[in-house]
Chains A and B, each alone.
Chain A
Amino acid sequence: MSFGINWIEAWWWPYLFILLIGWLPTDMWRVLGVILSGGIDENSQMLIFVRAVATSLVAAVIAKLILFPAGSLAITPVELRIFAAVSGFAVFNFVGKRVFAGILTAETTLIGGAWYLGVF
């Protein structure tokens, strides 16, 4: 994988890159959690706000992946992907928030739809 910065050709560069922009910003929160444990109220307004920002950010990535995917998924029509995701979400809610049922529905719709449309 050539990342944003690909002028370093060494084999270890992608691994260092993953540590720097993936591991460090993730595990620093875990370490802080151990250090601060008992210090902050888990339900403080500040943390609720931070949670909202994190949720919005992750949701933004989800929507982008469904609308602008990479690889083989990009061959499928965008309408089909949206329809599959919406039907999976609807079934997930209908059966009492079972993630597995939602995933199964979305995947069946996607594969069935792609097969019916003769996309692949």
Chain B
Amino acid sequence: MSSTPDSSIQKPDEDNINHLHWFLKGARGIASIPALVLMSSFIGFAGFAREAGFTLGETVFMVGTIWALPSHLVLVGGVIAGTSTLTILIGVSLASVRLMPMVMAQMPLLRGKNTSRWTLLLLSHFIAITSWVFLQERYKNVPVDARASFFAGFGITITVVCTILVGFTYALAGTFPPILAAALFFLTPVYFLTSLWGAAYLLSDKWAMIFGLILGPLVHMVWPDLDILLAGAVGGTLAFGIARLQQNRKGQSS
């Protein structure tokens, strides 16, 4: 029997956890603020992908299979800019590498005594920034062995709802006047501009964002095909270096 600090809310017979109950409880998280912000950004993404020339089927497929907005951004942004396939592939890999530590941090919380590795591998597809934030706040109220079901409820529901929402918005966007289509497209960069800065809790993340914003368009004018990779590598390295120097200086003065 696993005993955890929050055992007070666990049922005495842990094998009798009602998984459907916890699944539905997780699914109810669709009515939370982080979920609503995510839904509105996917509404924007539908317009973004449409203006980029993707079909309805491709756009919906992309949302369900990839399920990570930074990857969507790099993929669609790359197609818009006419970036080569290899650069997009590397760019998507680099943009989504942060999912790995996120999943790693989530696993010990998610794993109950009967949770199989296959379940965890399957569930990991639904881990993205929003579900991460959502779960971090709510785990303590869910019994350990019910967490996989709780997370599945939230993760699968929000993925399905957003995918359907993207389909509807895409179909509707055809009837929008150009000014609305433009505003819808604009949602994506503005969402990232704000949420990325909001998520940047390290000094290096903030510098990285500033360098990326400056270097992206600059490198694009000189070397359009490798612009995002160069801006990422150079900007990230500079940011990392400056943040370390600043920390060292702070360490010496105090």
A→B interface (CB under 8 Å): 1, 3-5, 14-15, 18-23, 25-34, 36-40, 42, 47-73, 75-76, 81, 84-85, 88-89, 92-93, 97, 99-100, 102-103, 106-107, 110-111, 114-115, 119-120
Contacts and interface: CB of A to CB of B under 8 A. Distances in A.
A95 B81 CA distance: 34
Contacts of A115: 179
Interface in B56-73: 57-58, 61-62, 65-68, 70-73
B10 interface: no
A21 B98 CA distance: 17
B79 A60 contact: no
A106 B209 CA distance: 19
B191 A103 contact: yes
Interface string B125-157: 101000000000000000000000000000000
Instruction: With a 10 A CB-CB cut-off, give which of B61, B127, B193 has the most chain A CB atoms.
Output: B193
A89 B197 contact: yes
**Interface residue range, chain B:** 35 or more
Nearest to B96: A26
A115 to B, nearest CB: 7
A55 B205 contact: yes
Chain A to chain B: the 10 pairs with minimum beta-carbon distance, closest first? A33-B103, A59-B212, A71-B51, A60-B216, A57-B232, A53-B236, A56-B235, A60-B231, A56-B212, A37-B107
Contact of B37 (A92, A99, A111): A99
Query: DSSP majority for the B interface?
Result: helix
A73 B185 contact: yes
A53 B233 contact: yes
B74 A76 contact: no
A38 B103 CA distance: 10
B182 A76 contact: yes
Interface string B68-100: 101111110111111111001111111111111
